[in-house]
């Protein structure tokens, strides 16, 4: 009977061991599944980080382009401002020249009127001598 008890104890021990081995195998399978899922999650995180890095690079390039375009616009505005100053100076010169021409025209008109008056007087004097 002692042998039966020992055999039963051994069989129970083996069954318990098999049960623990099966539980360990199941835990290992579950752990392997978690490791695979974690690997996939880390892969997705890596892809997302790479995507963000790419987007940041694109934004940086776009900002550099905008900075260059803004610099060009500022340069053009400065050129337009300088041209406006020059046009204003030319306009002032034209206005001054126009005033001078107007004054000269008045003098010419006055001289012409005086010459016309003198011409009439000369005609009158010539008419007296013909009589």
Query: What is the C-alpha to C-alpha distance for residues 68 and 77, in angstroms, rounded to an integer?
Result: 14
Count of H-run helices and E-run strands, the chain: 1, 0
CA dihedral 66, 69, 75, 80 (to 10 degrees): -120
Percent of the chain predicted with pLDDT > 70: 98
- Condensed to tens digits (0 to 9), the pLDDT of residues 65-85 reads 999 999 999 999 999 999 999
């Amino acid at each position: 009977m002692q042998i039966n008890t020992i055999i039963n104890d051994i069989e129970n021990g083996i069954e318990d061991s098999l049960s623990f081995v099966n539980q360990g195998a199941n835990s290992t399978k579950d752990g392997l599944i978690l490791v695979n899922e974690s690997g996939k999650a880390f892969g997705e995180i890596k892809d997302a980080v790479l995507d963000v890095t790419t987007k940041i690079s694109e934004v940086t390039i776009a900002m550099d382009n905008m900075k260059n375009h803004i610099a060009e616009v500022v340069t053009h505005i400065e050129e337009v401002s300088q041209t406006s100053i020059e046009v204003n100076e030319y306009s002032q010169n034209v206005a001054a020249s126009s005033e001078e021409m107007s004054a000269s025209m008045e003098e010419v008109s006055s001289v012409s009127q005086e010459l016309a008056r003198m011409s009439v007087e000369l005609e009158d004097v010539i008419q007296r001598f013909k009589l």
